[in-house]
Amino acid sequence: MEQLGAYKITEGENAVNTTRETMPHMGFSPPQDARSALQEQFSKTRLIPESQIEALVEKLVKQKLAEMLGVTTTDRVQRQWYDTDTAYSLLGLNSDEQLRVMVRDGTLRVGIEVRDVRSPSSQIPRYQFHIEKCEARLVLPPEKRQVTKAKKTA
């Protein structure tokens, strides 16, 4: 017999007795024929650990809420915007500096494929990249990309 969380997992002949011992609040004893049926059922059944119950309930609640709201559920929400340190590997580049260079030379455009999420008081840009838009832009041949460099003012 093994105990996980507040539930006991039992096997074999003494499953009914052990289970009844873990639930003293029930306060009744089933008749002998019912007892043998319960004993047979419990010998085949394993109780679920509390940690797994929580995960199952969470998943079922999310599915039910999504069904009620009319939206589809996925196990993992797909993100669209990624920080530079994650985006370069998703785009198949060698370093995050390659992304910054593409922003500086106009290959990837701020406001379309790239967004600047720096705090208002910061002078240093913090870029996030929309992976699908970046991939679409980088697939285009260089002559078809209308590269526009930002004009620097003195």
Reported as a single tens digit per residue, the pLDDT across 115-130 is 999 999 999 999 999 9
CA distance 57 to 71: 19
Helix (H) or strand (E) holding 21: helix 15-22
- Tell me what pLDDT residue 145 has: 79
Tell if the pTM clears 0.85, that is, is over it.
no
Of these ranges, 38-42, 77-81, 126-130, the one predicted with the greatest mean pLDDT is 126-130
Q: Give the residue, 117 or 41, on which the prediction is more confident.
A: 117
**Are the CB atoms for 88 and 95 separated by under 8 Å?**
yes
Q: Residues of 50-62 as b/e, b for ≥16 C-beta within 10 angstroms?
A: eeeeeeeeeeeee
Alpha-carbon Rg for the chain, nearest whole angstrom, is 30
